[in-house]
Structure 1
Amino acid sequence: MGIRVAVAGASGYAGGELLRLLAGHPEFDLTYATAHSQAGQPLYRVHPNLAALDLTLAETDPALLATADLVFLALPHGESAALAAQLPDSVKIVDLGADFRLSDPGQWEQYYGGTHAGTWAYGLPELPGQRQQIANAQRVANTGCYAAAVTLALAPLIASGVAEAEDVVVVAASGTSGAGKSPKTHLLASEIMGDLTPYKVGAHQHVPEIKQATGARSLSMTPVLAPMPRGILATVTAKRSSCDITAGVVREVLADAYAGEPFVQVLPEGSWPHTGATAGSNSAHLQATVDVDSGRIIVVSALDNLGKGAAGQAVQCANVMSGLPETSGLSVFGVFP
């Protein structure tokens, strides 16, 4: 028997993607999938792509989840802490929500509201030193989707001194699955098709997470809702630390930072990331240049918001926590077209 895993919040998009990945994992045995309003439903009625999985969504019962070796929490922000507190310390947890990402209680209160639940190991293995922290942890806070895309693009540049930590600007477009599965008028097909819409301008909740993970001191972020089901394309710009910093230097810093990392590809010069190229994978694609007019560094990052931005990243962290090969059950190859 393999490692017994369970998913709480399995009826949502991230939960469904987790189930898809876990169903094909060579070492994880999916034992339970729980939900709230959809409890009692056969899985195929909620996720028709998973018709081959003979599962019925169960009530989210802590006693049931406690029988697993590892639990994924794919719950709305603010709901993970209460459930995690009811699980024994022996059960490993990967939380896909935001409850335990931030170290500053004031930032949590400002961007999310309510009481800060605490801080767990941050679930981005590609950050320096983070892989070992995840390996030693019983509790891991998965990254936010925008945060994963931006942090991978920016963190090595600030750490190396190539980019300034002040005045970072991000414009990032995300597919509609990032908004969750609850019915909302602004997510109706007739509302989003042929349209791009900014939202949470100047106050997106991933800003403090990105600053915490990258060392950026000031960051302006404009998220955009794009008429596609999944994917993130983030354009990150930052000031150069010196006029001598060329596009080649920036690409070299990124290539060195991710040398040997299976899930981060710095594309050849002249090739730019596509969201479609990362769909269904746990990969992030990066490309960089220096703007000929402003002299600012530009890094474009693409990933699947349900893959490297959520479920895939969570499985990657679970692999590290369980002492398994990091790539187990995950693909570096996207589905295209």
Structure 2
Amino acid sequence: MKISAAVAGASGYAGGELLRLLAMHPGVAVKTVTGSSSVGRSLGELQPHVHALRDLRIEETSPDTLAGHDVVFLALPHGSSGAIAAELGEESLVVDAGADFRLESAGAWEEFYGGSHAGTWPYGLPELPLAEGGRQRSRLKGARRIAVPGCYPTSSLLALAPGFRAGLLEPADVVIVSASGTSGAGKAMKPHLMASEAMGSMSPYGVGGVHRHTPEIEQGLSWAAGEGVSVSFTPTLAPMPRGILTTATARVRPGTDAAAVREAWASAWEGEEFVRLLPEGQWPATQSVLGSNYVHTQAALDPRTGRVIASVALDNLAKGTAGAAVQSMNIALGLEETLGLTGGGLAP
């Protein structure tokens, strides 16, 4: 029998991407989709690209509606998952695509998000190398609750974690700049996301260390380094529907050469299906990973300044959100980790 799944927040971008991937997953049957203002409408009306599930009707998002499924995906606004998850039993694997359970520090949550901290769940970035050895994958096996990483943190952690785990990078003076497509801001109408405002233009936002993903990036890099890492993070809005290109730089420790950098990144991603280190001299491009769960990365040493420059391209809705959720589900339920996720990117 197939795994029964429910998706809350089915009308949004993250919910739509989850449904697209789950509809192609050979081991999952989506039984329930929920929303708020869209209750009663057909999924085909709201997510017309998910052909296989077009006849499902949007139901109210409530614990009663979501209960009884093998897996429940929560693709809800930040701060909305905690109360619902608290009412769901351990018989359901709950995978939260929001931020409610990502942070270990209640203080960081209150500072960057406001309100009460709902708690901390295992972090759904399987490939993340840890300072004590192993990877985050081991913490997801058999889990009943999983927090999917943010899209910016996913790209930032995959960019620099190899260098921190190998002990090559200094934990201070880390600078990360990311460009994201407009879908990263969600589906709600906002003037600055209108085509006439966003197309043909780029702009930074969340400048000055105030973006909500900053503590999550520092948390994950600290797990890889085995010590506290401080980060200056600046996101930018790019004129494209989806995709993230992150460029990260950090000071190297004395004695680190280009060969050591290449070895650290190659060793970190050897054997990983979804994170690919490109050949030397080839740099990531968002188009190469569009619509896929794959990540392209590259790193180089600038010997003049003593800094590593690492770049990552991923699809913010796939590996950055929904793909990570499905990948984590596969691990937690003992399925093949790559099941339903090995489709390539779209080009041109």
When the two structures are superposed, what TM-score results if normalisation uses the length of structure 2? Answer: 0.94
Partner residue of 1:120?
A: 121
Q: Does 1:281 align with 2:292?
A: yes
Instruction: Give the CA deviation at 1:47.
Output: 1.2
Of 47-56 and 254-263, deviating more is 47-56
8 Å contact 1:287–1:300 — kept in the other structure?
yes
Partner residue of 1:14?
A: 14
Q: Distance in 2 between matches of 1:200 and 1:125?
A: 28
Q: Deviations over 1:285-334 (max 9, x none)?
A: 10111124322100000100001100000000000011000000102521
Q: Does 1:258 align with 2:269?
A: yes
Q: Deviations over 1:43-102 (max 9, x none)?
A: 121112123422121111311211201100000000000110111122111100000000
Q: How many residues align?
A: 336
Q: Deviations over 1:9-61 (max 9, x none)?
A: 11100100000000010111111111111111111211121234221211113
Q: Does 1:186 align with 2:192?
A: yes
Moved over 3 A (4+): none
What is the SS of the residue equivalent to 1:122?
coil
Q: Distance in 2 between matches of 1:17 and 1:331?
A: 15
Instruction: Give the CA deviation at 1:255.
Output: 1.2
Instruction: Give the CA deviation at 1:228.
Output: 0.2
Partner residue of 1:213?
A: 220
Partner residue of 2:225?
A: none
8 Å contact 1:186–1:192 — kept in the other structure?
yes
8 Å contact 2:23–2:52 — kept in the other structure?
no
Q: Distance in 1 between matches of 2:187 and 2:304?
A: 42
8 Å contact 2:299–2:308 — kept in the other structure?
yes
Structure 2 gap ranges (5+): 129-133, 223-227
What is the SS of the residue equivalent to 2:261?
helix
Q: Distance in 2 between matches of 1:102 and 1:135?
A: 20
Partner residue of 1:64?
A: 65
Distance 1:81 1:228, change over 3 A: same
Partner residue of 1:293?
A: 304
Q: Distance in 2 between matches of 1:143 and 1:322?
A: 19
1:227 to 226, 239, 254: 239
8 Å contact 1:247–1:288 — kept in the other structure?
no
8 Å contact 2:142–2:334 — kept in the other structure?
no
Partner residue of 2:182?
A: 176
Q: CA RMSD in A?
A: 1.1
Q: Deviations over 1:195-220 (max 9, x none)?
A: 00100012111111111111152110
Aligned-partner residue type, residue 29 of structure 1: A
Q: Distance in 1 between matches of 2:341 and 2:82?
A: 27
8 Å contact 1:262–1:332 — kept in the other structure?
no
Of 103-112 and 324-333, deviating more is 324-333
Partner residue of 1:89?
A: 90
Q: Distance in 2 between matches of 1:173 and 1:248?
A: 28
8 Å contact 1:248–1:289 — kept in the other structure?
no
Distance 1:52 1:91, change over 3 A: closer
Q: Does 1:98 align with 2:91?
A: no
2:341 to 303, 308, 330: 330
Of 193-202 and 120-129, deviating more is 120-129
Aligned-partner residue type, residue 7 of structure 1: V
What is the SS of the residue equivalent to 1:261?
coil
Distance 1:84 1:55, change over 3 A: same
Q: Distance in 2 between matches of 1:90 and 1:247?
A: 49
1:309 to 299, 320, 328: 320
Partner residue of 1:268?
A: 279
8 Å contact 1:39–1:58 — kept in the other structure?
yes
Q: Distance in 2 between matches of 1:14 and 1:165?
A: 32
What is the SS of the residue equivalent to 2:88?
coil
What is the SS of the residue equivalent to 1:4?
strand
1:145 to 135, 141, 151: 151
Aligned-partner residue type, residue 329 of structure 2: A
8 Å contact 1:43–1:51 — kept in the other structure?
no
Q: Deviations over 1:187-243 (max 9, x none)?
A: 00000011001000121111111111111521101100000000000000000012x
Aligned-partner residue type, residue 192 of structure 1: A
Q: Deviations over 1:142-179 (max 9, x none)?
A: 00000000001111211211111111000100000000
Partner residue of 1:134?
A: 140
Of 215-224 and 170-179, deviating more is 215-224
What is the SS of the residue equivalent to 1:78?
coil
Structure 1 gap ranges (5+): none
